[in-house]
A and B are shown apart, each in its own frame.
Chain A
Amino acid sequence: MTEVRVGGCYLARSTDEGTVEEAACGGVVTELLRYALREDLVDVAVCVERGADALDGRPIVVDDPSEVPSGSYHCAPVQLARLVAELHREDPTLRVAVTCRPCDARALDRLAERDLVNPDRVYRIGLNCGGTFEPRVVLEILEERGVDPLDVEREEVAKGHLIIELRDGEEIKVSIDDLEEKGSGRRESCRRCDENIPERADLACGNWGVPDEMMGEWTFVEVKTEDGRDLLAGAVKDGAVEVREAPEGSVRVREKIDEIMRKMARSWRERTLDEDHLAEALEALDRCIKCRSCRQVCPVCASCEEGCWAFAGRESVTPTPVWHAHVAQCVALYCVECGACETACPAEIPLTRIYGVLRERLPDLLERLAGRAEG
């Protein structure tokens, strides 16, 4: 039997054929959540279930293993970290297993720093992520082809393509590069994100590196921590999951994909986080109507009780400029670049760009200030 080690890479899948059939690639994540609930390792699992259609994901909390859903949701950019914070506000001892993309994991860290999440009580089942799409973008793709969203069986991102599988077995395959050349494609903050494999998770699961002949039926799992090891090893011992050592070639392919994606992200970052783009973005702040959506969806900010609204001014639909300045510098310190604020903004202000530039430039700026003080 394969030994599961911290730092080890494996190909894994659920031993349940039904789960493999219905899940994205091997059903390992689904099976681990079920196993953790069944064996009372956790009290609840926090994950995403299918909403109105296959493109719609709904965050849920489940305590019954049979209710753990499966599927992948690249078109439903929901944040789960906050849900964990809400659970821990009620009961800080609640044991939680949560599926997390890199930005969810970063948000959990920020929340843990503020004692809003109890990290000792959280299993993080990491999901590799090459970026997500606004539902609108995908709906447009379907509309162009005259496809009803209800006819979508599932969606997947693989090898630079968004693949939409229809109920009748047909597939729509769209090149993400092509989309992005036309100004569509992944969400702005995702395009800039250079963490594809969640570094701060217990396990990192995904389809990168899975050999072609096993694609869709196996998951590539990297064990990041002891907790991750124990969970996976336990599930294997229990017979819920089968694993085999990932071949050298698989590991290399995965590294290569990660490297390419990160390089693309960094170049997009450089292109969009410059001062011209900042000027344009700052101008867009004039459109703010103080609807507060950006702060309400922020996974980190939402639980904060600092009361920055006091700066926003009352009895005026536009906030005071000092409020934007305050939020920008506060957010720049802890922003996890999940892009939730930008998605929520009805005035379509490129918020992540503003926070991004500040984040990139703030250390530099502070250094310059410090230099001046010393000089």
Chain B
Amino acid sequence: MVALSEVFGSGAMTNSIPDLAEADCYLVAGSNTAEQHPIVYRRIVEGVEDGADLIVLDPRRTLVAELADLHLRVRPRSDLVVFLYMARVILEEGLHDEGFIEERTTGFEAFAEHVRGAVSEEDVRRIAGVDPEDVREAAVRYAEADRGCIVYCMGLTQHDIACRTLRALCALALLTGNVGRPGTGVNPLRGQNNVQGACDAGALATHFPGYRRVGPEAAEEMARLWGFEVPEEPGLRLPEAFDSDEIAAMYVFGENPAVSEPNSRHAVRKLRNLEFLVVQDLYLTETAELADLVLPAAGWAERTGTFTATDRRVQLSERIVDPPGEARPDWWILEAVARRLGLKGFGHRSPREVFEEIRRVIPQYRGITYDRLRRRPGGIHWPCPSEDHPGTPILHTERFATEDGRARFPRPEDVEYREPEQDVDEEYPLILTTGRVYAHYHTRTITGRSRLLNDEVPGSFVEIHPRDAERYGVKDGEEVIVETPYGEWRCRARVTDRVREGVIFTPFHFGENALTPPDVLDPEAGIPEYKRVPARVRPAPRSTRRG
């Protein structure tokens, strides 16, 4: 989001899901689209069936990688090098779109000069572990396409150099003029049905609603809108909060940090040491079990509200049944708590009133109303500045959302590759990367309660390449111990060439965050490093557990 906002002026998917089908070339990076975003995947398949090229960057051979014309099986956290090399190829081959660059961007010269010397073929081989010729082909195919479409996900963002990587990725779209038309753009896929909406509404430590960066000027504007004082300094980002001694109380809802935070042992210790922990959830999650107070929340069918999907599509979802027992909608509980605390700015009596405030405060939502949403079952894409505005499925068609309307090529120092703080070595020779599996959501709060889904993927596993398996004495189906400098984890081995040699993969649903570092973050976005951790694997000692 940080990088995208910086380059384009807006940190969201540039295009809408349906128009993705119109691309001539897809560059899918760090996204297991078939398993995690099946609706987007369907549009990609539609495009591929119509003859579009498909290039996939992933250390694993996922389903979408199997469909690819070109699968760049990169090492985790090396995507930046690949993108910089692609940019270099595009410039060398003269495939950049001069008209677009001239009319709609700034900063091209410096970027171009930097890129020409930034990354060598040798870097591509050494860091990314792929053939530079393949990267060259990817660059040419993407640049030559009339409509080149970039789709990415957490494979790029859950790294300590995520912002740099994404800037370089955005630059590829700018170089080739692939923004602002159907079937083009730079499209981050958000994992849940309302992650986009939560970010829009300012559920971020660094931004007020509507992506106003926290600072004196924005604070003044917000104070004017809200009628009370707001802080001028950004808050702590989540991993920072878990690291801070100043934090004595937490109010957690819609989140299960005991399992989802990097290095769960560290996170649980923090949760236990809090003076006061409130958890508001549908279920008694691992975090809720540590809470002083649990407030039962209503589920989606039991409340009214809007969801903003990954493609900025705001949709109204109306209550069908009443919540059971004492459960109440989240907004209702928050109002009740705020009232007892005597907080200013609350006092909404319905989801509609909450939405009216959202409209008033977030400029992108200004023209969206409950009445309009009822008339548009397909929703309305923000930005929608006025009630007679149809919404904006495709961003940046004529101007970018920056102050001067031009996209900004990243500055050279902002796309420099940095070696990881902790690299693989003799002690930890493998790279651990984590991700989701199709049958589960993050911490299995919901999916773990479904018998069918549990049967599909009942427990944790580690994917390991046959050569690595042989090297470390690991046999398919047997129990192993995975170790990193941060912790250890016992699970079953899946010996498969779906992962590249030197890389192992575990899901992050079952508690595998025991293995991830608590303190390796992207300095700009604050996102933890979940996807590249030095590791080793050994067969588990014979189980001493009974029967």
Chain A residue with Cβ nearest B378: A139
Residues of B within 8 A of A287 (CB): 42, 45
Interface pair B318/A347, CB less than 8 Å apart: no
**Is there contact, CB below 8 Å, between B377 and A348?**
no
Nearest CB in chain A: distance from B193 CB, A? 15
Given known pairs A346-B38, A347-B42, the reply for A315 and B374 (CB within 8 Å) is: no
CA distance A141 to B437 in the complex (A): 39
Check if A149 sits within 8 Å of B377, measured CB to CB.
Answer: yes
- Asked if A304 CB lies within 8 Å of chain B CBs, one says no
Given known contacts A309-B452, A314-B457, is B378 in contact with A348 (CB within 8 Å)?
no
A329 is an interface residue with CB less than 8 A from chain B: no
Whether B457 pairs with A315 at a CB distance below 8 angstroms is: yes
Q: Nearest chain-A residue to B46 (Cβ)?
A: A348
> Which chain B residues (339-374) contact chain A, with CB distance < 8 Å?
374
Which residues of chain A come closer than 8 Å to B38, judged between CB atoms?
A: 289, 291, 346-347
CB contacts under 8 Å to A, within B446-469, are 452, 455-458, 461
Q: Is the CB of A317 within 8 A of B374?
A: no
Q: A148-B375, A287-B42, A289-B438 are in contact. Are A317 and B34 (CB under 8 A)?
A: yes
Is B203 an interface residue when CB atoms closer than 8 A count as contact? no
**In the complex the two chains form, what is the Cα distance from A124 to B532 in whole Å?**
62
B63–A292 touching, CB < 8 Å = no
State whether A346 touches B39 (Cβ < 8 A). yes
| Contact of B123 with A by CB under 8 A | no
A150 lies within 8 A of chain B by Cβ: yes
Whether A272 sits at the interface, judged by CB under 8 Å, is no
Cβ 8 A contact of B377, one of A139, A292, A317: A139
| Contact indicator per residue, chain A 147-189, by CB within 8 Å of chain B (1) or not (0) | 0111100000000000000000000000000000000000000
**Interface size class of chain B, counting residues whose CB lies under 8 Å from the partner chain:** 20 to 34
Given A52-B374, A150-B375, A346-B39, answer yes or no on A292-B438 (Cβ-Cβ < 8 Å).
Answer: no
CB B310 to nearest CB in A, in angstroms, measures: 15
B240 within 8 A of A: no
A314 touching B455 by the CB < 8 A rule?
Answer: yes
Q: Compute how far the CA of A148 lies from the CA of B378 in the bound complex, rounded to whole angstroms.
A: 12
Asked whether any CB of chain B lies closer than 8 Å to the CB of A225, the reply is no
Judged by a CB distance under 8 angstroms, whether B255 is at the interface is no
B121 within 8 A of A: no
Known contacts A292-B452, A309-B452: A318-B374 contact under CB 8 Å: no
* Interface bits B372-411 vs A (CB < 8 Å: 1, else 0): 0011111000000000000000000000000000000000
Interface residues on A, range: 20 to 34
Q: Inside 8 A of A315's CB, which chain B residues have their CB? A: 437, 456-457, 461, 494
Residues of chain B in range 304-343 having any CB-CB distance to chain A below 8 Å: 318
B455 touches A289 (CB 8 A): no
Mask of B18-45 contacts with A, CB within 8 angstroms, 1/0: 0000000000000000110011011001
Decide: A150 and B374 in contact? CB cutoff 8 A: yes
B378 contacts across to A, CB distance below 8 A: 139
B35 contact set on A, CB distance < 8 A: 289, 317
Residues of A within 8 A of B376 (CB): 148
Task: From the candidates B41, B63, B377, name the one contacting A52 in the complex (CB within 8 A).
Answer: B377
How distant is the Cα of A343 from the Cα of B34 in the complex, in angstroms?
A: 19
A residues in contact with B452, CB < 8 Å:
292, 309
- Among A306-322, those with CB < 8 Å from B are 309, 314-315, 317-318
A331-B458 Cα distance, complex, nearest whole Å: 28
> Across the interface, which residues of A come within 8 angstroms of B45, CB to CB?
287, 347
Which residues does chain A contribute within 8 Å of B456, judged by CB atoms?
290, 314-315
What's the Cα separation between A149 and B376 when bound, in Å? 7
| Closest CB in chain B relative to A46 CB, distance in Å | 18
Residues on B with beta carbons closer than 8 Å to the beta carbon of A317: 34-35, 63, 438
CB-CB under 8 A from A139, the residues of chain B are 377-378
- If the complex has contacts A149-B377, A318-B63, are A52 and B455 also in contact, measured as CB distance less than 8 A? no
Interface residues of B in 33-81 (CB under 8 A from A): 34-35, 38-39, 41-42, 45, 63
Docked Cα-Cα span, A13 to B113, in Å, equals 82
Instruction: Name the B residues within 8 Å of A56 (CB-CB).
Output: 377
Cα–Cα distance between A139 and B41 once the two chains are bound (Å): 23
Contact pick for B318, options A52, A291, A318, CB 8 Å: A52
Complex formed: what's the CA distance from A314 to B39 in Å? 22
Q: Name the CB-closest residue of A to B36.
A: A317
Q: What residues of B have a CB within 8 angstroms of the CB of A151 in the complex?
A: 375
B residues within 8 A CB of A148? 375-376
| CA A135 to CA B377, docked complex, whole Å | 10
B438: chain A residues at CB < 8 Å are 289-290, 317
Interface residues of B in 156-190 (CB under 8 A from A): none
Q: Which residue of A lies closest to B372 (CB)?
A: A148
| CA gap between A289 and B438 in the complex, in Å | 9
**Once the chains are docked, how many angstroms separate the CA of A338 from the CA of B438?**
29
Within 8 A of A (CB), among B102-133: none
Partner of B375 from the list A149, A292, A346 (CB cut-off 8 Å) is: A149
**Docked CA distance A315–B457 (Å):** 5
B253-286 contacts to A (CB < 8 Å)? none
Chain A residues whose CB sits within 8 angstroms of the CB of B63 once the complex forms:
289, 317-318
Residue from A151, A291, A292, A347 whose CB has the most chain B CB atoms within 10 Å: A347
User: 1/0 contact trace for B124-157 toward A, CB 8 Å?
Assistant: 0000000000000000000000000000000000
Tell me if B34 and A348 are in contact (CB < 8 A).
Answer: no
Q: Which of A53, A291, A317 has the most CB of B within 10 A?
A: A317
A102 and B39 CA atoms in complex are apart in Å by: 32
CA distance A52 to B316 in the complex (A): 11
> What is the minimal beta-carbon distance from B152 to any residue of chain A, in angstroms?
20
Write the chain B residue with the least CB distance to A312. Answer: B456
Distance (Å) between the CB of A140 and the closest chain B CB? 10
- In the bound assembly, the distance between CA atoms of A172 and B456 in angstroms comes to 48
Q: When the two chains form their complex, are residues B455 and A348 in contact, meaning their CB atoms are under 8 A apart?
A: no
Complex contact B377–A346 (CB within 8 A): no
- How far is it, in angstroms, between the C-alpha of A56 and the C-alpha of B375 when the chains are bound? 12
Please give, as numbers and ranges, the residues of chain A lying within 8 Å of B39 by CB-CB distance.
Answer: 346
Chain B hits for A348, CB < 8 A: 42
Contacts of B437 in A (CB 8 A): 315
A150 CA / B372 CA spacing, docked (Å): 10
Which residues in A have their C-beta under 8 angstroms from that of B494?
A: 315
Quote the shortest CB–CB distance from B381 to chain A (angstroms). 14
Q: Do residues B34 and A289 form an inter-chain contact, with CB atoms below 8 A?
A: yes
Q: Which single residue of chain A is at the shortest CB-CB distance from B458?
A: A314
* Known contacts A149-B377, A289-B34, A346 near B42 by CB under 8 Å: yes
B residues less than 8 Å from A309 (CB atoms): 452, 455
Within 8 A of B (CB), among A39-55: 52-53
Most interface-central of B376, B377, B378, B458 (chain A CB within 10 A)? B377
Query: B189 → chain A, closest Cβ, in Å?
Result: 15
Q: Which B residues between 226 and 246 are near A, CB-CB below 8 angstroms?
A: none
Residues of A within 8 A of B461 (CB): 315
Residues on B close to A: CB < 8 A?
34-35, 38-39, 41-42, 45, 63, 318, 374-378, 437-438, 452, 455-458, 461, 494
Known A315-B461, A318-B63; 20 more pairs at CB < 8 Å: A52-B377, A135-B377, A148-B375, A287-B45, A289-B438, A290-B438, A290-B456, A314-B455, A314-B458, A315-B456, A315-B457, A315-B494, A317-B34, A317-B63, A317-B438, A346-B38, A346-B42, A347-B38, A347-B42, A347-B45
- What 10 A-B pairs come out closest when comparing CB atoms? A148-B375, A317-B438, A317-B35, A150-B375, A289-B38, A314-B456, A346-B38, A315-B457, A347-B42, A287-B45
28 A-B residue pairs with CB within 8 Å: A52-B377, A53-B374, A53-B377, A139-B377, A148-B375, A148-B376, A149-B377, A150-B374, A150-B375, A289-B34, A289-B38, A289-B41, A289-B63, A290-B438, A290-B456, A291-B38, A309-B455, A314-B455, A314-B457, A315-B437, A315-B456, A317-B34, A317-B35, A317-B63, A318-B63, A346-B42, A347-B38, A348-B42
